[in-house]
Amino acid sequence: MAPKQFFVSGISTEVGKTVCSALLVNALEADYWKPVQSGDLHHTDTMKVAEWNGLELPHPRFHQETHRLVTPMSPHAAAAIDGVQIHMDDFKVPETQAPLIIEGAGGLMVPLNDDDTILDLMADLNVPVVLVSRNYLGSINHTLLSVAQLKQRQVPIAGIVFNGPVNPSTESVIEHMTQLPVLFRIPELDHVSLPTVRALAEQLRPKIRQALNI
């Protein structure tokens, strides 16, 4: 049986994709791959996920980004500044016998170039999406729009992860209107570190493995 792969995306930027990815890497003993990193090359998402799992880079479970862009902007703009072009056939899923967590950049409709978005990459890879939602004014709209886009493109959806403070009225309407499972919840974390990720992953591991059928 082929190892399980999951694409972690968010309803917007800064909703908790990287924390979610770190938890999944820990709970599933998974590999990690970030196809595009824009900005923060001194402290990339790959570095954060490795650090929060107590691992040092380079490490065989952490795969090199396909594109490392200097400017913290949308990939299409950051690539233009760097004088490079992003093509869909640039992206090759790393070979591994372990589960693989793939982390996107921003939300679904973030442009990679003049024609393609993160959603196009998802559709090409055809990997089940773990959609991270965070409760804020407008998050219902952003979540429902993201789910609608994924369904329209026939991208498989593993389920939703709610990150941050609980809002029962928001979460219940999202669950009802999307008919998607809530895989797990990430509480508000004052500080993200190896101990907090390790403790939370230990607590959530049975639920995560059951929800993702691993």
Q: Tens digit of pLDDT for each residue in 113-125?
A: 999 999 999 999 9
Q: How many domains does the structure of the chain reveal? A: 1
- Tens of pLDDT along 68-96? 999 999 999 999 999 999 999 999 999 99
Question: What's the burial of 150, exposed, middle or buried (CB within 10 Å: 0-12/13-18/19+)?
Answer: buried
- Tens of pLDDT along 26-74? 999 999 999 999 999 999 999 999 999 999 999 999 999 999 999 999 9
Determine the residue type at 151: K
> What CA–CA distance (Å, rounded) separates 119 from 139?
19
Residue 2 — pLDDT band, cuts 50, 70, 90? low
> Is the predicted pLDDT of residue 107 greater than 80, yes or no?
yes
Q: How many CB atoms lie within 10 A of CB 123?
A: 16
> What CA–CA distance (Å, rounded) separates 118 from 7?
11
Determine the residue type at 26: N
> Is the predicted pLDDT of residue 1 greater than 70, yes or no?
no
Q: Which tokens hold the place of 114?
A: 């003049």
**pTM attached to this predicted model:** 0.96
Mean pLDDT of the 181-194 span? 95
pLDDT of residue 42: 96
- The set of residues, in sequence order, having a beta carbon less than 8 Å from that of 113 and lying 6+ positions away, is 75, 76, 79, 85, 86, 87
Query: What secondary structure does DSSP assign to 73-106, as a single string?
Result: S-HHHHHHHHT----GGG--PPP-SS-EEEE-SS
Query: What secondary structure does DSSP assign to 145-213, as a single string?
Result: HHHHHHHHTT--EEEEEEESS--HHHHHHHHHHH---EEEEE---SS--HHHHHHHHHHHHHHHHHHTT
CA dihedral 120, 126, 127, 129 (to 10 degrees): 50
Determine the residue type at 177: M
Task: Point out the catalytic residue in the list 34, 48, 92, 151.
Answer: 34
Q: Which tokens hold the place of 140?
A: 């219902």
Mean pLDDT of the 188-212 span? 96
Average pLDDT, the chain: 96
Q: Which residue range forms the structural domain that includes residue 155?
A: 5-211
- Tens of pLDDT along 129-180? 999 999 999 999 999 999 999 999 999 999 999 999 999 999 999 999 999 9
What CATH number has the domain bearing residue 167? Answer: 3.40.50.300
Q: At what angle do helices 194-211 and 17-28 cross, to 10 degrees?
A: 70
pLDDT of residue 157: 98
pLDDT of residue 3: 73
The question of whether 17 is a catalytic residue gets the answer no
